[in-house]
Structure 1
């Protein structure tokens, strides 16, 4: 599905990430993002069967008035057996479902450093197979865990070997890579961004946009000036809100509004007071080493198609 179109044609489209809500009904999650002002979502294929059913994905998105231009393959360790544990088979099934949904970009993770048999296919064959479906197989930069580079794509030079790339700000923070230098090196290959701040604690903290060690405001202004018109997913930790739907909507709407302003170059004053919703999230963030746990759930009694 390609509709509805983004009302801000010619500018980047901001997407919500369903990954943090992988244990929640997909329809509830899409309704949440619609109420927060998003026009589209990035769907993570996960253990939740709804996220692997193209009809349900399209129907929920249509009911919420959202587009699904980007999907994320199940490459995380905790999703190892979703579709297949074999890298190429997992990727091909992800491309097939992405095609059925009508997405234009599949977010992928590279094979681990010792999975050399799959590395050549990921660098060349995958992009060709995706192109046959009018899709982009876009490689995301990962980050060291316990000081070790398990992934074969961590630094900009490694990411630059791929035709299309996904630029993750929090991952570059963990790796110690300057965002502006990375953008200069990769900008012509970037087709999608994962944007969040980072608390600087060596973990992938997915912090609120204005809370952390990264100059996300200046970086998004730079991206806006560059002429980039692709997609950007706000990939944020929402655990502090639990099942507080109203709080989630307020927080996500606030982050969406910030990102839109900063992309236009409307930067905050140095004397501006902190955002209380973002401060609440930042004060409670404690991610485990896998970066998982960014979850929230629907209130009891929610049903697909119900009133938002």
Structure 2
């Protein structure tokens, strides 16, 4: 059965530990750990202890490949992915989410597709490459900032991730992208966006991406991977206010992920 998980980034600026607590309180099936500036998120024993204490499985590890996590676990991108796989094995996750290289990471980008395939063969972990977007200063002008491309359907990855907020910035049709990916779609970051140049990560249903139609579309196609709510709740107060937004997102997913 497809699990509905919560990304630890969804409770920022609260901690990874808080995310596990919210996941239990609201009723999520699993947690995706975003390895980042929170020290706990970088420590395998701590993440494992949180999972066991809360009896909450870890569905995926998001490698530290964001712009602001470029120095987390060093600066070598392959080392970051190897350590992400190590954490995934330790906590029982089958997926590592990774972004395509930035355009200035030319050596990394030159062998990225082949390197991801080798990592999957060596580790047994699915490295689900996520769709990104052009960096846009306005609604009409953008710059290619990811190599080999922001759209993973253009490359021969065995496993991929669709993020609806990223697709909103790129003005991509997520249902068409899912069709292009077919069984290679392994992971979903369920969120929303309005098509602005900002990575909004709205609660699904609050944007214009047709998140409800997308969920029904992939359910009808037989999607069996992980669905993870990766939303921005920074304007919510810690506690009941944030929990209400997380509950709204979870209810949306469970309502619309039906064939």
TM over 0.5: yes
Find out whether 1:81 has 2:75 as its counterpart.
no
- 8 A contact 1:27–1:61 mirrored in 2: no
Q: How far 1:23 moved relative to its partner?
A: 4.3
How many Å separate the matches in 1 of 2:152 and 2:89? 28
Q: Which residue of 2 aligns with 1:131?
A: 121
Structure 1 residue runs without a partner (length 5+) = 1-9, 266-308
SS at match of 2:162: strand
Residue 24 of structure 1 deviates from its aligned partner by: 2.8
Contact 1:71 1:103 in 2 (8 A): yes
| DSSP 3-state at the match of 2:6 | strand
Taking the aligned partners of 1:161 and 1:130, their CA distance within structure 2 comes to: 13
Alpha carbons 2:12, 2:233 under 8 Å: kept: no
Q: How far did 1:199 drift? A: 2.2
The structural deviation recorded for 1:156 is 4.7
| Deviation string, structure 1 residues 208-246 (Cα, Å, up to 9, x no partner) | 211111111111011111111110111111012132x11
1:194 is the counterpart of 2:184: no
Aligned length: 253
Match of 1:219 among 214, 230, 234: 214
Instruction: Indicate yes or no: 2:214 matched with 1:207.
Output: no
Matched, 1:141 2:135: no
Of the three residues 252, 255, 264, the one matched with 2:258 is 264
* Larger-Rg structure: 1
Q: Secondary structure at the match of 1:61?
A: helix
1:250 maps onto 2:244 in alignment: yes
Find runs of 4+ consecutive structure 1 residues off by over 4 angstroms. Answer: none
Tell me the TM-score normalised to structure 1 length.
Answer: 0.78
Query: Could you tell me how far apart the structure 2 residues matched to 1:68 and 1:156 are?
Result: 24
Distance 2:77 2:191 in 1: 27
Among 10, 14, 28, which residue is 2:4 paired with?
A: 14
Check if 1:110 corresponds to 2:110: no
Instruction: Quote how far apart the aligned CAs of 1:120 are.
Output: 4.4
What SS does structure 2 have at the residue aligned with 1:201? coil
Contact 1:168 / 1:193 at 8 angstroms: preserved in 2? yes
Structure 2, gaps ≥5 residues long: 137-141
More deviation, 96-105/136-145: 96-105
C-alpha distance 128-44 of structure 1, shift in aligned 2 (>3 A): same
TM-superposed deviation, 1:157: 4.0
SS in 1 for 2:143: coil
CA separation of 1:20/1:251 partners in 2, compared to 1, >3 Å: closer, same or farther?
A: closer
Matches within 5 A, 1:1-308: 10=1, 12-146=2-136, 147-152=142-147, 153-158=149-154, 160-243=155-238, 245-265=239-259
- Cα RMSD of the aligned pairs, angstroms, is 1.6
Q: Distance in 2 between matches of 1:70 and 1:78?
A: 20
Partners of 2:112 and 2:51 lie apart in 1 by: 30
Deviations 1:107-164 (A, max 9, x none): 0111123433222432122332233322111111111113211112313543x33221
CA contact under 8 A between 2:100 and 2:150: conserved in structure 1?
no
Q: TM-score, normalised by structure 2?
A: 0.91
Name the CA distance, whole Å, in 1 between partners of 2:15 and 2:168: 31
Counterpart Cα distance in 2 of 1:111 and 1:188: 23
**Contact map agreement 2:133 2:166 (CA 8 A) in 1:** yes
